[in-house]
Chains A and B, each alone.
Chain A
Amino acid sequence: MHPFILERPRDLSAALALRAQAGRDDAPIEYIAGGTDMMQLLQEDVRKPERLVSLAGLLDNGIDIGPQGLRLGAAATMAEVAAHPAVAGQFPVISEALLASASPQVRNQATMGGNVLQRTRCPYFRDVGYAACNKRSLGSGCAAIGGENRWNAVLGASDHCIAAHPSDLAVALVALGASVKVRGAAGERAVALEDFHRLPADTPHIETVLEPGEVIAAITVPAHPAARRSHYLKLRDRASFEFALVSPAVALDMDGPQIREARVALGGVGAKPWRVPKVEAALAGAGLDDRAALRKAAPCRRPAARCARRRSRAAGRMILPRPWIASASRSRLRWT
């Protein structure tokens, strides 16, 4: 671990000012909140800041539910949110995504903000022995392209970067149309989570729309009839404690046995959580027991696999197109 100075500012504006000075390209100053990803990056020398600014105690950690929806303070931990009865009852996909993530120990410390901002698990990014990584060093190339990339993105990737976004929570939040409250020196602004993460294109080192000196203050999830009937499924090689090969989040607004509206997002396969509007449109109006209609909802010609929900109070079924599983789990460079 590269030596650093630990800063513990007394208030948020001091913390923001410290980071704002540093600019974007070279980040000699990094934030640490829960620390469960930042510590890994520090230990592997992926990040080598000169100063580490602790956000402990500076951000909102409340979980509030109201008629408008859900508000998650950036410092609320994964464990607290997952166990919150209102979240588990009214936004189950969020609770399920969190419980499928990481481990109890990590969830006790990891925060909402940190989870959304976590860096990719691409082995070529995380191993500094590979010099070619445009995320770590723009212009150096991408060792993952042409390498062992079973874990990498098939959606949203570019010639410069094929890293997949690893967060489960972000997938659930995108499916529910969540918004990020960003706080900076100039004040607060709201960004739809779907627009918060950037595609790599030719600037993979810039992953979000956060400017230097901005932090996530809160995440809001609008109330929506589909939220209550929502589910998260995580496909992985082993039964637990692993990142996803592919993971759909599905929320269904039902009219009796028919789907009135569907919200579907995919994780594990995209450079960012991937909303699939074509699947959503195809599911609208379909009956839950109409296998043919569900099969047709897949956006490509090969037959779709259908996966039944396992929850006892469930009303949702999911489409998990086999080609997506196949391309997520074989070495492939890009979705074509």
Chain B
Amino acid sequence: MDRIGEPVEASVDLKPGDASKRFSMHAFGAVFSEVAVDPDLCETRVRRIVGAYGAGRIVNPKTSRSQRIGGMIGEIGMALMEHSVVDPRNGRVTNANFAEYAVPVHADAPAIMDVTFVEEHDPHVNPLGVKGLGEIAIVGVAAAIGNAVFHATGKRVRELPITPDKLL
């Protein structure tokens, strides 16, 4: 600018290409879970969760695994214990506190949470080949737990959370 003596202007037309129409560029996962359901008490505890993910180039394996296991814990909550209880008479949430809205605690974590990242080179998604690893962490685990409960008990529960009273 100092040399030319006037501001430099440039304009560019930028719009997405048609790559998304020609290629699927999502991250993928497959989740399996093993649960134990007490036949008398109908308490469900998760023993093991195994997840395999194809999510492009994994930049940081340590934090990527942490994101996964964090999601697994979150979905144990969704599957087995979390429920906002709304009083239909006035719309007020009756369990708006940590004592009654149960999120998973340490003891709910399964002994084994196995995460595998399938090697995946995606030349289309972007030059680095990286994909998002956020939401996929929490997708599929609750379904796997529901399926495992069905496998264990023969009961298909279609309304979460799967609490003991739904298995009686």
Contact = CB atoms under 8 A, between A and B. Distances in A.
Given A124-B94, A129-B92, A325 B108 contact: no
Interface stretch (A9-17, A107-115, A235-243, A259-267): A235-243
A245 interface: yes
Given A245-B164, A326-B168, A238 B108 contact: yes
A148 B87 contact: yes
Contact of A242 (B42, B45, B96, B102): B102
Nearest to A122: B94
A307 interface: yes
A151 B43 CA distance: 16
A224 interface: no
Interface string B19-61: 0000000000000000000101111010000000000000000
A189 to B, nearest CB: 34
Nearest to A328: B165
Contact of A235 (B43, B87, B96): B43
A129 B80 CA distance: 28
A127 B163 contact: no
A123 to B, nearest CB: 4
Nearest to B38: A307
Given A305-B41, A322-B168, A326-B168, A238 B94 contact: no
A145 B145 CA distance: 34
B165 A239 contact: no
B164 A235 contact: yes
Nearest to A144: B94
A235 B95 contact: no
A85 to B, nearest CB: 25
Contact of A147 (B40, B41, B87, B105): B87
Contacts, number: 78
Contacts of A330: 165
Contacts of A242: 102
B62 interface: no
Contacts of A51: none
A334 interface: no
Contacts of B41: 233, 235, 305, 307, 320, 325
A24 interface: no
A311 to B, nearest CB: 16
B99 interface: yes
A282 B96 CA distance: 42
Contact of A243 (B81, B85, B99, B164): B99
Contact of B163 (A233, A305, A322, A329): A329
Interface string B58-75: 000000000000000000
Contacts of B87: 143, 147-148
B95 A238 contact: no
B105 A241 contact: yes
A325 B166 CA distance: 11
Q: How large is the interface on B (under 10, 10 to 19, 20 to 34, 35 or more residues)?
A: 20 to 34
A146 interface: yes
B146 to A, nearest CB: 16
Of B94, B95, B168, most buried by chain A (CB within 10 Å of CB) is: B94
Nearest to A327: B165
B165 A320 contact: no
Interface in B83-108: 85-87, 89, 92, 94-97, 99-100, 102, 104-108
Contact of B168 (A127, A146, A325): A325
B140 interface: no
Given A143-B87, A307-B41, A326-B165, 14 more contacts: A121-B100, A123-B85, A123-B94, A237-B81, A237-B161, A238-B80, A238-B81, A238-B105, A240-B108, A241-B105, A325-B41, A325-B168, A329-B165, A329-B168
21 contacts: A121-B99, A124-B94, A126-B97, A127-B92, A127-B96, A129-B92, A151-B100, A235-B41, A237-B81, A237-B102, A238-B80, A238-B105, A239-B108, A243-B99, A305-B41, A306-B40, A307-B41, A308-B40, A325-B165, A326-B165, A330-B165
Interface of A: 121, 123-124, 126-127, 129-130, 143, 146-148, 150-151, 233, 235-243, 245, 305-308, 320, 322, 325-326, 329-330
